[in-house]
Structure 1
Amino acid sequence: MSSRPSPLPNRVTPFGEIVAAAAQGGWLGNRGGRIHRDWRIVRRQASPRWIICRLEFKGRRRTVMGDGYTELFFLDEATALAAGHRPCYECRRDAAKAFAAAWAAGRGGARVTADEMDAVLKMERRAQGPTVAHADLAPGAMVAAGGDAFLFDGSGFHRWSFTGYAPAAPKAPLTLLTPASTLAALRAGYRAEMRV
């Protein structure tokens, strides 16, 4: 096994990229299992089940990038949603239920399972996001402009970084980063945690 690098390559950008960054994340997640070997990310996912978890749950302790699934870290929930993840049904049951209800409302009202959401998110992660207007967005949605990611908080935009956000006005065209179905859930009332 190679020596452990510092920082580890386990921070996720709103673009869905997994990189090494020293700043701490506010949320934990995974991509359905183990995607690392010898301190390196060796594949994009283990399954379509990309989830957002709490940093702490029932006192569990894990060795980061040890056995089992690969722990990934996000600045906030809005970042994780933009990258194509959804709330976990184990450690964030209330949020997962609220997200599923908003997802259903945003897509016409039919109840959905985690597997159904995961299948849609998998397809949407593969697709290039459409160009969007400011009026198309909801609080917690993220867009790309000029190579940077921007969070819309309901009143304005903030440029994303691993350490936080800074108020900024992105120049058009704006490309949607948040998957379309997640944006529909945000429009239908799901409230993403944002560190602004």
Structure 2
Amino acid sequence: MTSGTLQNRVDPWGRLCANPARGALMGNRGILHDDENRIVRPWAHKAWVTCLLEFKSIKRSKPFSPGNYSELFFIDEATAFAAGHRPCAYCQRERHLKFKQAWVRANVAEKTDAAISMTDIDRLLHAERAAKGGAKVRFDAALSSLPVGVMFEHQDTAYLVSPRGFLPWSFNGYGERIDMDADATVAVLTPRSVVQAFAHGFEPKFHSSANA
């Protein structure tokens, strides 16, 4: 279903890369490729979602088929969230609702939470993940303040805050735990409002190497 020659693997910075590693989740930002399967735009809409590789009897088309959205792939949900994606309301309905509930609880005043739609959330997420021109939005925070599931950047490497410590990211999974000063300030890749949702009980799913 995937091809290593396509620029459709997503890293924690939200960049679209050509890499042969297979993803555990698929993603959608709209039609991003041209007739020669080259990426010509970083996104086509603001509803960046993650989808299951297989769902019911749906037949997935060949990635980057003409007129079809550009299929993107992630090694796990934590990477997808760091890149700025969130669970699809169709193929991941239960996961989507759990995330939305945690996000609203963490980021919206109780008196106004009923009025928040996914369109509102997607609009805010877009401002938190992508700057003009496509650059990745980051924010600084102390390591000790980051909940499990967050990804951050340190010396040009992305790291996951996991239950067993700070793990370096790659397209093939996570490396060995490293020791870091908990008081250190790092550049956080996961959008700020998603970090808040994680702090309020929502924990993303990890690649199996995170539990090794």
TM-score by length of structure 1 reads 0.92
CA contact 2:161–2:167 (8 Å) conserved in 1: yes
Q: Give the distance between the partners of 2:14 and 2:65, measured in 1 at CA.
A: 22
Q: What is the DSSP-based 3-state SS (H/G/I as helix, E as strand, rest coil) of the residue aligned with 1:40? A: coil
- Specify the alignment match of 1:152 in structure 2: 161
| Gap change, CA 1:170 and 1:75, over 3 Å in 2 | farther
- Specify the alignment match of 2:17 in structure 1: 19
RMSD of the TM alignment (CA)? Answer: 1.5
**1:169 shift after superposition:** 3.6
Residue type of the alignment partner of 1:54: L
| Identical-residue share of aligned pairs (%) | 38
Q: Give the distance between the partners of 2:185 and 2:64, measured in 1 at CA.
A: 38
Q: Is 2:58 the counterpart of 1:60? A: yes
CA contact 1:129–1:177 (8 Å) conserved in 2: yes
Residue type of the alignment partner of 2:95: A
- Specify the alignment match of 2:74 in structure 1: 74
Q: What is the DSSP-based 3-state SS (H/G/I as helix, E as strand, rest coil) of the residue aligned with 1:73? A: strand
- List aligned pairs for 1:26-175, cutoff 5 A: 26-31=24-29, 33-37=30-34, 38-61=36-59, 62-67=61-66, 68-108=68-108, 109=110, 110-111=113-114, 112-126=116-130, 128-166=137-175, 167-169=177-179, 172-175=184-187
Residue type of the alignment partner of 2:143: H
Q: Give the distance between the partners of 1:6 and 1:164, measured in 2 at CA.
A: 16
Q: Give the distance between the partners of 1:152 and 1:6, measured in 2 at CA.
A: 28
CA displacement 1:117-151 (0-9 Å, x = unmatched): 10001110135322111221111110000001000
Structure 1, unaligned stretches of length 5 or more? none
**1:189 shift after superposition:** 0.9
| Gap change, CA 1:59 and 1:169, over 3 Å in 2 | farther
Q: Give the distance between the partners of 2:4 and 2:82, measured in 1 at CA.
A: 26
CA contact 1:138–1:154 (8 Å) conserved in 2: no
TM-score by length of structure 2 reads 0.85
Structure 2, unaligned stretches of length 5 or more? 132-136
CA contact 1:131–1:175 (8 Å) conserved in 2: yes
Residue type of the alignment partner of 1:168: I
CA contact 1:14–1:142 (8 Å) conserved in 2: yes
Residue type of the alignment partner of 1:16: G
CA contact 1:150–1:170 (8 Å) conserved in 2: no
**1:173 shift after superposition:** 3.7
Residue type of the alignment partner of 1:65: F
